[in-house]
């Protein structure tokens, strides 16, 4: 069973990488980009029957740092 965990920076946390990419997009002539935030996707191949609670625990214990990041779980 394929599952995706999407990790994003919490709003209000400065994302210098996103700012730099935003700047580069503007430099390439892409107008109208209001903001860029960069996160990461973790693709998990899990044994059937892995519970949402277990995946949530994986996120809290390792995949995301909840001091600065949010996460959401998407079943493929």
Partner 1 sequence: MKSAVIVFPGSNCDRDLAVAFRDVTGKDAAMVWHGESTLPDGIDVIGIPGGFSYGDYLRSGAMAARSPVMRAVAEAAARGVAVIGVCNGFQVLTEAGMLPGALMRNATLNFVCRDVDLTVANSQTMFTSQYADGQSIRIPVAHHDGNFSADEATLDRLEGEGRVAFRYAGNVNGAARNIAGIVNDAGNVLGLMPHPERMTSDAHGGTDGRRIFEGLFSALA
Q: Which residues of this chain interact with partner 1, rule CB under 8 A?
A: 13-14, 16-17, 20, 61-63, 65, 67-68
Pick the closer one to partner 1 by CB: 19 or 46: 19
Shortest distance, position 14 Cβ to partner 1, whole Å = 6
CA-based end-to-end distance of the chain: 8
DSSP-derived letter for residue 16 is H
Give 50 or 65: the residue with its C-beta nearer to partner 1.
65
SS3 content of the chain, % helix, strand, coil (to 5): 30, 30, 40
Of 1 and 20, nearer to partner 1 (C-beta) is: 20
């Amino acid at each position: 069973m394929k599952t995706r965990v999407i990790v994003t920076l919490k709003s209000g946390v400065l994302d210098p990488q996103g700012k730099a990419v935003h700047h580069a997009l503007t430099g390439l002539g892409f107008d109208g980009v209001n903001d860029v935030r960069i996160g990461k996707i973790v693709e998990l191949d899990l044994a059937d029957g892995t519970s949402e609670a277990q995946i949530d625990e994986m996120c809290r214990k390792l995949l995301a740092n909840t001091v600065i990041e949010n996460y959401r779980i998407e079943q493929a």
